[in-house]
Amino acid sequence: MRLNECRVLLTGASGGIGLALAVQLCARGAQVLAVSRQPEPLAALRQRYPQLLTWTGADLRQPQGRARALEAARGMGGVNVLVNAAGVNRFALLEQVDDEQIEDMLELNVTATLKLTRALLPLLRQQSHALVVNVGSIYGSIGYPGYAVYCASKFALRGFSEALRRELADTPVNVLYVAPRATRTAMNSQAAMDLNAELKVGVDEPEQVARAVIAAIEKDLSELYLGWPEKFFVRLNGMLPGLVDRALHKQLPIIRRFSTSHHGKDHP
């Protein structure tokens, strides 16, 4: 797709990968409808690209928030790209997560994404060519200790992307599933970043991820997995999960130590 011909509805636009995407999409000439709860992180970008960037405040967990986003999309004459980048993460063992935190993560990462996509499909179908981009995670393919709820949400998003792509195979709408590895965003706690450093896990900057996503949009790809050796472990986990089980078993004491330390600070 030509970015200067794109009208993009971008969720989670005020931080992390979403904000980096907003910057780079505008720089390439796309019209961007940025949807988030906080306008402040986008203020400078709105001043720089007043003709390209529009902001709509919405909590996508709520029906009225999704309705507001849909109405804004109609107001800009429809969209031909939907980027579902809104999401939340929490590094914690399952026993350290309460009901509200589980519900919040699944509501935003899965339910709100599905409902917003469903609401926008009639607009996307009207285009000569359209794209749904779902920002998932490497943890949508590898179940990792300390991220059981997050993995559940991203496994669901990956399955949704695959099924929706097949549902829409005879329409003008394609679906791109993006799986970043660890990324340096505020969504990741200090404990999670300290764990990555201890395990020598590669961490990308949001700008790197955004560049890769934009390249995938231009090439009309259906899947994008980022990072090495993460891409290798995704394949290994699919073919020989027992090997990955044994590798992660060795990391469990370290994962528990960082998770317990962080949990203790939050719950004295």
The residues that are catalytic are 150
Of 49, 59, 61, the closest CA to residue 8 belongs to: 49
Q: Are 254 and 196 in contact (CB under 8 A)?
A: no
